[in-house]
Amino acid sequence: DAEITQSPRHKITETGRQVTLACHQTWNHNNMFWYRQDLGHGLRLIHYSYGVQDTNKGEVSDGYSVSRSNTEDLPLTLESAASSQTSVYFCASSEGDSYEQYFGPGTRLTVT
Amino acid sequence: AQSVTQPDIHITVSEGASLELRCNYSYGATPYLFWYVQSPGQGLQLLLKYFSGDTLVQGIKGFEAEFKRSQSSFNLRKPSVHWSDAAEYFCAVTAYDQGNQFYFGTGTSLTVIP
């Protein structure tokens, strides 16, 4: 069955380190998204991509970057992790104009 | 700017009782509206969606939602709640000119008591 996976599921890192969270989908969807989930804020969009080599900033993109070298993957990089980036991160994908996003299981990141 | 408000942070209902979760949105054009459910430690699962047409939409797990343009609302309902419905529920909005970008509410946590 097609799916969307995230790795690692849990990560503890230190302030200032670079961290990369992986997202892989097997639906061959063009659209991929990264969100962070924080108590009292719901989900907020970090970055998104509509296809290979396309990336766009979302509502809370500062301190994060993404790259899209193939259809299946959209890794999220924290250039220099900060305690404010402690959160649960969700990846999602959708096809074309379907507007129906499928979510991965999430990565819980703790920055100490 | 687009926004979604879920006024109830936490709701507790008895098993078998009816449920209504509130969602209000702010958007100038015709919105596309969604309800997602998140079980503990899991990702989000789509319950139902509204794009156009019939304002009462049916979803999975016995849920339904009604779009009321005059009230800018898209409330989620279920006639009889099951213990397995305990979860976090999120309302989300996008539109044709938002390029698949979703705006989520802050969520409503549902507790079901036996």
| DSSP 8-class letter at B112 | E
With beta carbons less than 8 A apart as the criterion, state whether A20 and A7 touch: no
- pLDDT on residue B41: 81
Contacts of A4 in chain B (CB under 8 A): 43
How does pLDDT run across A69-105, given as a tens digit for each residue?
Answer: 999 999 999 999 999 999 999 999 998 777 788 999 9
Tokens, residue B22: 């509130």
- pLDDT on residue B22: 98
- CA atoms of A70 and B17, how far apart (whole Å): 48
- pLDDT on residue A47: 96
- pLDDT on residue A2: 67
- pLDDT on residue B78: 98
How does pLDDT run across B32-58, given as a tens digit for each residue?
Answer: 999 999 998 888 999 999 998 889 999
Comparing CA positions, the residue from A102, A61, A100, A97 lying closest to residue A78 is A61
Q: What's the gap in Å between the CA of B107 and the closest CA on chain A?
A: 6
Average pLDDT for chain A: 94
pLDDT level of residue A52 (50, 70, 90 thresholds):
very high
Q: Is A88 on the interface with B (CB under 8 A)?
A: no
- pLDDT on residue B112: 97
In a mutational test of the A interface, the residue from B30, B100, B106 whose CB has the highest number of chain A CBs within 10 Å is B100
- CA atoms of B94 and B27, how far apart (whole Å): 9
Query: Which whole number is the average pLDDT over A12-16?
Result: 97
Low-confidence ranges of chain B (pLDDT < 70): 1, 28, 99
Average pLDDT for chain B: 92
Query: Which whole number is the average pLDDT over A9-19?
Result: 97
How does pLDDT run across A53-62, given as a tens digit for each residue?
Answer: 999 999 899 9
